Amino acid sequence: MSGCTPMRNENEDTDFHGLRSQIFTIYQRSSAFICVLFTEQTLATQSRMNLAFRPIRPEEITEASALVDAAYAPQVWSLYGATRRGRWHHYDEAKIESYISREAEGVRVGLWKNKLITLNICRSYGNLGWFHTLAVHPKFQKRGLGRQAVADAETYLGERGVTTVGLMTWPTAIGNLAFYLHQGYRLDGISVYAYRDTTTPIIDGVSPFYTHLYSSVPPQDENRVQNAIRALCQSIAVGLDYSAWVRWARQQSFAETLLLWRNGQLQALAIAYFLPTADWAEGKLLLIHPTLTTNDKLWVLEHLRLWARSRQRSPVGFSVDITTDFVKTALLPHDFRLFAESMVNMVKGDDLPDPAGHFVRFGG
């Protein structure tokens, strides 16, 4: 989604809130069969190659970028063919550099005889973590090396206190679903981008919140605000902590964090990217205190709209789980649309935070 604007396509318009439970039920009921199928296909291809894993080095970034291209381009073509979604775009080295700046130890490579075989990018936020962009060199696929990369990611995240590991994959990628189910992951929601034009208000009246950007916090107040961010995270899920992401965003020219307060308490937080190659505001993280009412949540959305409009961006969008009521009660009645390129959330370990107040994609 980065760098492109979600546009409405009449052929992709879907009654998500009518079909969401049916879709998810189908996936859940299919999981056992998919897992058995994967086992039958892979037992005969166990590898005797034992990869050595470590953080990526700067001189390996170009090679890692080419590895992602080689691994992903054939897969998206096989899944989506000659469509917009089937056209793979070069995995820019700048992306990997950005991930290194956020969590250098989490950009993991697997090597065999000094040859780069796998790449995997891990994120840790308190007791919640995830990995994405798992790539295995095409010449070494179906040898069990992906399982080794997953095990390395789980070890890395576990050493940092992560008890819930998330990931996402394409809903049509049956092989991917089977692979992760076989590693003990379970299905936990379907993620889409909700987006809305920023020209018209979502709600009228007087907001119950006052807002400011994290970049405007003076140095003497930063510890206080960081503690408020951690308290908001804790209200959503014990052990959750996105304070490091907020600090990192402050250092980036394209990223910013909006803070919403009431009576001296932080009630909501949003991180958005305003990429120079895009005309929309890409919401990367949205946290909403669990005590907020539906009307309060509409005001949170209104502040997101105003924020994006002040940056001359339209639409504004963020990730939502279509298996929750928030889509039906707060988004669709207020002119939000759902971008019909969905991803399946998968999780291992403890349950994910409540998606009614925790909006994030387990990706870049």
Query: Tell me, what's the pLDDT at 28?
Result: 58
Closest to 339 measured CA to CA, from 170, 194, 169, 171: 194
Query: Tell me, what's the pLDDT at 363?
Result: 83
Q: What is the mean pLDDT of residues 53-80?
A: 97
Q: What is the mean pLDDT of residues 129-149?
A: 97
Q: What is the mean pLDDT of residues 102-112?
A: 98
Cα 15 vs. chain centroid, distance in angstroms?
Answer: 23
- The pLDDT mean for the chain works out to 90
Query: Tell me, what's the pLDDT at 34?
Result: 58
Q: Per-residue DSSP letters for 172-223?
A: T-HHHHHHHHHTT-EEEEEEEEEEE-SSS-SS-S--S-EEEEGGG--GGGHH
Query: Tell me, what's the pLDDT at 153?
Result: 98
pLDDT confidence bin for 17, thresholds 50/70/90: very low
Which residues does 91 contact at the CB level (< 8 Å), separation at least 6? 65, 68, 69, 72, 133
Instruction: Render pLDDT for 245-278 as a digit per residue (tens, 0 to 9).
Output: 999 999 999 999 999 999 999 999 999 999 999 9
Query: Tell me, what's the pLDDT at 9?
Result: 41
Residue 64 CA to residue 80 CA, distance in Å, equals 24
Question: Which residue shows structure tokens 């469509």?
Answer: 83
Percent of the chain with pLDDT over 70: 87
CATH code that applies to domain 23-190: 3.40.630.30
Query: Tell me, what's the pLDDT at 68?
Result: 98
Instruction: Render pLDDT for 71-82 as a digit per residue (tens, 0 to 9).
Output: 999 999 999 999
pLDDT confidence bin for 323, thresholds 50/70/90: confident
Say whether 107 sits in a helix, a strand or coil. strand
Percent of the chain with pLDDT over 90: 84
Lowest mean pLDDT of 40-49, 185-194, 353-362, name the range: 40-49
176 close to 170: Cβ distance less than 8 angstroms: yes
314 close to 199: Cβ distance less than 8 angstroms: yes
Instruction: Render pLDDT for 148-198 as a digit per residue (tens, 0 to 9).
Output: 999 999 999 999 999 999 999 999 999 999 999 999 999 999 999 999 999
Q: Say if domain 193-360 classifies as CATH 3.20.20.70.
A: no
Q: What is the mean pLDDT of residues 121-144?
A: 97
- Residue span(s) of the chain under CATH 3.40.630.30 come to 23-190, 193-360
Q: Per-residue DSSP letters for 265-329?
A: EEEEEEEEE--TT-SSEEEEEEEE-TT--HHHHHHHHHHHHHHHHHTT---EEEEEETTSHHIII
pTM over 0.85: yes
pLDDT at position 32 over 90: no
pLDDT at position 55 over 90: yes
Q: What is the mean pLDDT of residues 228-252?
A: 97
Query: Tell me, what's the pLDDT at 300?
Result: 98
pLDDT at position 23 over 70: no
Cα 170 vs. chain centroid, distance in angstroms?
Answer: 13
Residue 254 CA to residue 74 CA, distance in Å, equals 31
pLDDT confidence bin for 218, thresholds 50/70/90: very high
Query: Tell me, what's the pLDDT at 43?
Result: 44
- For the beta carbon of residue 348, count every other beta carbon within 10 angstroms: 17
